[in-house]
Structure 1
């Protein structure tokens, strides 16, 4: 399976993070590629607790942790995890519209929640989680995970593909800075697009667009290049530098200029 890139800019303060843990991202098998973007495997060994922040993205994750396969709905709140000792976590990052065929209902209903796979998917997740969390071979752990997912018999949904394409457009097209622009691109009314995103992604298009622009800012800060924050704010659709600063600080907890200096230091 070929490697995939994921969104490494979502890892806040990646340099100290890289000293504490390693992240491997692996493409799913062909039968799941319609739904799962990539698997991620995090391994760590630390002598002191390491608290890591990750910027939430518009996608559902399932992770093997605490003896279960836990479904993480899209969260608007900052995400933190404290690593102690040594261990590993294996997860699946779904395409933005890719979890709905598993859930069989609105993804918005699970936004902001963390629930066991057995609750949402109707199949006991604990035996698979136990094999994953006691495993050592990446391929065997992923095979166990994928067998669990395939037992739910997800059916491809053309609307999921459409939503994925729209989210990709919002990510790649920096001229799209408002939800009504994405609605026009899709040929929908804004209200219809909002309902579609809530149903398939779990959050509205405005949140999706703004989150990608925040990740763009993080990527620039991580690059180490000199930044004209006012120009960057304009290019990403913020009304001014102050607007960019407020939005970034709300998500990351630090103004972007300060964050870049901390990154450089």
Structure 2
């Protein structure tokens, strides 16, 4: 199975998390699904002591099948606006689908993606027609012992629900990918002008297909970059990084980082044990 990407963007104290759980990413086996998904993410754990993981969410919808001890359930997780914390203890397993920003609606076209933002809903409330088969579907994904079986079950679940071709979804995915890869895109208005659309039209497209506005997406990817730099570099020059990410000054980066992660960037970048990250 291929691992689509190896970065840890969005994971707070990634090294600590990866030392405690078995974490993998895989591409869908079905080629028809790949344009719409970032990846599948699989986690298993067997912990002697409870552990709290923290994630700065991506601008992505996730479908998550979960088993904590003897309790299994599945939900649709809209884009998280705040730091997400999950307590892990005992034994457990998670099989998740991370959609590309803009890629979820072709599977659930009945409502704009903004309808799910900041919410976590049971699987059957978003995907119509599951009825009493929800438990059967959860078991099909979580029961296989090998990754290939879990990936096949996730493929089957999604293929039964789409994707339904939608040029607007394709456009939304393209624009978000441009924001992620092009650091010169610093303002939503500039992106709208470059695309020959009004800011209001761009905002409407993002509400319908991404779930948050383009300004929010730009800011979130900035924070992901800053978080990863704090994780990977021995000494970060924060003023230079602020300028590189398009901030007018270091204070604005510090404010946004602190509001999102919970501690200032300089404190977060200290060696483990120097600050309480709550992890």
- TM-score band by shorter chain is over 0.9
Q: Is residue 114 of structure 1 aligned with residue 120 of structure 2?
A: yes
Query: 1:14, 1:158 → 2: CA distance?
Result: 36
Query: Which digits, 9 at most, give the CA deviation of each residue in 1:189-234, with x for residues without a partner?
Result: 1111111001000000000000000001011111123221111111
Spell out, residue by residue over 1:118-156, the C-alpha distance to the aligned partner (whole angstroms, 9 max, x if none): 211113232111232333111111211221111113212
CA–CA distance in 2 between the matches of 1:202 and 1:231?
31
1:123 correspondence with 2:132: no
CA RMSD of aligned residues (A): 1.6
**TM-score normalised by length of structure 2:** 0.90
Q: 1:71 to 1:8 in 2, by over 3 A?
A: same
Higher helix share goes to which structure?
1
Contact 1:108 1:199 (C-alpha < 8 Å) held by counterparts: yes
The answer to whether the aligner puts 1:152 opposite 2:158 as a matched pair is: no
The alpha-carbon deviation at position 83 of structure 1 amounts to: 0.7
CA deviation after TM superposition for structure 1 residue 7, in Å: 5.0
1:77 matched residue in structure 2: 82
Aligned residues: 265
- Specify every segment of 5 or more residues in structure 1 that has no aligned partner in the other structure, as ranges: none
Higher mean displacement: 134-143 or 213-222: 134-143
Contact 1:25 1:41 in 2 (8 A): yes
Equivalent residues of 1:68, 1:130 under 8 A apart: no
Q: What is residue 4 of structure 2 aligned with on the other side?
A: 4
Structure 1, 208-217 or 163-172: larger mean CA deviation: 163-172
1:188 aligns to what? Answer: 197
The answer to whether the 8 Å contact 1:6/1:38 transfers is no
Moved more, 175-184 or 190-199: 175-184
**Alignment of structure 1 residues 1-265 onto 2, 5 Å:** 1-5=1-5, 8-28=8-28, 29-65=30-66, 66-104=71-109, 105-124=111-130, 125-263=134-272
- Of 195-204 and 9-18, the range deviating more from structure 2: 9-18
What is the TM-score of this pair, normalised by structure 1? Answer: 0.95
Moved over 2 A (4+): 66-69, 123-126, 131-135, 262-265
